[in-house]
Amino acid sequence: MEIKTTRKDIIEVYRSFKICLEFLSKVFLETPRVEFIEQLVKKDLFSEWPLPGREAMSEGLRLMQAFCAYWQPSQYKEVRLDFTQLFADGEKLLLLSNLCGEAAEAVDVDKPQEEERLKAAIKQFLQENMLKWIDPFIQHIAENAATDYYRGAAYLTKGTVEMLAEFTGLPSN
């Protein structure tokens, strides 16, 4: 990921991470609803994902697009079963989403010390938690998910977390 340097670019990157992490936290925190899945299919969200592709991100987008292409409401029971069997820590993703949103706001209102404080909090949370959690999480989903919905979301999560680590100056896996 190319590191952006202007205030406007930095705000845009933080907001892109916020959007992606907010979506992914919803996927892993909330029981899926047919209406939500149908909105994903209708809006073709995954053709306009706000973060650029890399290996995990590309695989996640491929799986989610495949899921959307063959989605039928009759598959809902299978997706719901995946959710109940695979529940993941969506709270972690929501926390990161909120931190990215606050960092974007700090840059937007020209508070560099606040942005640095938030960036440090993001880095610490990534180092102490997310970068240790992501590979076992992907393996668990890959081995146990019955649908591309959760396999795709897991890879999107990995790609997003790795890109956020790189954006904040940490080495990704």
Amino acid, res. 62: R
Question: Crossing angle of helices 90-108/112-125, nearest 10°?
Answer: 160
Q: What is the pLDDT of residues 141-160, one digit of tens each?
A: 988 999 999 999 999 999 99
| pTM of the predicted structure, to 2 decimals | 0.86
> Can you give the residue ranges of every domain in the chain?
7-167
- Topology of domain 7-167 in CATH is TorD-like (1.10.3480)
Report how far residue 47's alpha carbon sits from residue 160's, in angstroms, rounded to the nearest whole number: 16
Q: What is the pLDDT of residues 95-128, one digit of tens each?
A: 999 999 999 999 999 999 999 999 999 999 999 9
For the chain, percent of residues with pLDDT exceeding 90? 67
Report how far residue 70's alpha carbon sits from residue 144's, in angstroms, rounded to the nearest whole number: 20
Report how far residue 16's alpha carbon sits from residue 97's, in angstroms, rounded to the nearest whole number: 9
Burial of residue 22, with CB atoms counted within 10 A of its CB: 0-12 exposed, 13-18 middle, 19 or more buried:
middle
> pLDDT at position 94, please?
92
Q: Mean pLDDT of all residues in the chain?
A: 90
> pLDDT at position 44, please?
82
